């Protein structure tokens, strides 16, 4: 399956004007559609999918410093790559609350059904990941103590803490699936690799 990296970089080189940027957007959208078609028709292993996604995310974000743009891009490409994920997004550390001594997450960029707006550290899977600064792989959310059911269809979940270049927790990445046992150690390792490459810079 072709990677998005090379065509995107080639197209971006042409976008020197506003008109060029508009053409770039159209061309890139066509590339995304082609990428999705090829993804569905080609049997890739989970590891191969992650290799493609990581390469493409880093290519798209090359030179982009904005954290929100980085989060949104991760959500978009991961959501397209993995059909079993019905909710994919970030919960961001609320800096205002943190300054007041309150540890709380607020919903950030995501794709899926309506997410919970705020989650306290220590509450549910996201709160556990934030409080412990460790990845949470949950094969069955109904067996997880204090699970927060933002969507009742969720049966398995993974949450990965996100750190900046100084090692400070800035967010958690969250993904939910309707199937049980969707996520495993391979997901955890690759998502940690992606989050470090995108945000710990």
Question: What are the structural domains of the chain?
Answer: 84-199 (3.30.450.40)
The tokens for 74 are: 């991760």
What pLDDT, on the 0 to 100 scale, is given for residue 145? 82
What pLDDT, on the 0 to 100 scale, is given for residue 21? 62
Rounded to two decimals, what is the model's pTM?
A: 0.79
The tokens for 38 are: 């090829």
Instruction: Name the stretches of the chain with pLDDT < 70.
Output: 1-42
CA–CA gap between residue 108 and residue 91 (Å, rounded): 5
Do 122 and 112 form a contact (C-beta atoms < 8 A)?
no
What pLDDT, on the 0 to 100 scale, is given for residue 90? 98
Sequence-distant (6+) residues with CB within 8 A of 105 are 91, 92, 93, 94, 118, 119, 120, 121, 126, 127, 130, 171, 172
Give the Cα-Cα-Cα angle 186, 72, 92 (nearest 5 degrees): 80
Helix (H, G, I), strand (E, B) or coil at 134: coil
Residues 96-152 pLDDT 10s: 999 999 999 999 999 999 989 999 999 999 999 999 999 999 999 999 987 887 777
Helix (H, G, I), strand (E, B) or coil at 145: coil
In terms of Cα–Cα distance, which of 95, 164, 167, 103 is closest to 130?
103
What pLDDT, on the 0 to 100 scale, is given for residue 190? 98
CA–CA gap between residue 6 and residue 23 (Å, rounded): 17
What pLDDT, on the 0 to 100 scale, is given for residue 41? 41
């Amino acid at each position: 399956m072709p990677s998005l990296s090379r065509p995107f970089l080639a197209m971006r080189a042409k976008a020197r004007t506003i008109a060029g940027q508009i053409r770039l957007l159209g061309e890139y959208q066509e590339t995304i559609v082609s990428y999705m078609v090829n993804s569905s028709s080609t049997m890739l292993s989970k590891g191969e999918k992650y290799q493609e996604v990581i390469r493409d995310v880093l290519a798209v974000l090359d030179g982009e410093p904005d954290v929100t743009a980085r989060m949104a891009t991760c959500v978009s490409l991961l959501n397209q790559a993995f059909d079993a994920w019905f909710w994919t997004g970030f919960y961001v550390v609320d800096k205002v609350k943190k300054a007041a001594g309150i540890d709380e997450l607020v919903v950030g960029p995501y794709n899926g059904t309506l997410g919970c707006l705020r989650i306290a550290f220590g509450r549910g899977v996201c709160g556990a990941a934030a409080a412990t600064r460790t990845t949470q792989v949950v094969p069955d959310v109904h067996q997880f103590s204090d699970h927060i059911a933002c969507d009742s269809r969720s049966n398995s979940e993974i949450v990965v803490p996100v750190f900046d270049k100084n090692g400070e927790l800035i967010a958690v990445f969250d993904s939910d699936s309707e199937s049980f046992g969707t996520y495993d150690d391979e997901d955890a390792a690759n998502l940690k690799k992606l989050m470090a490459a995108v945000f710990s810079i």
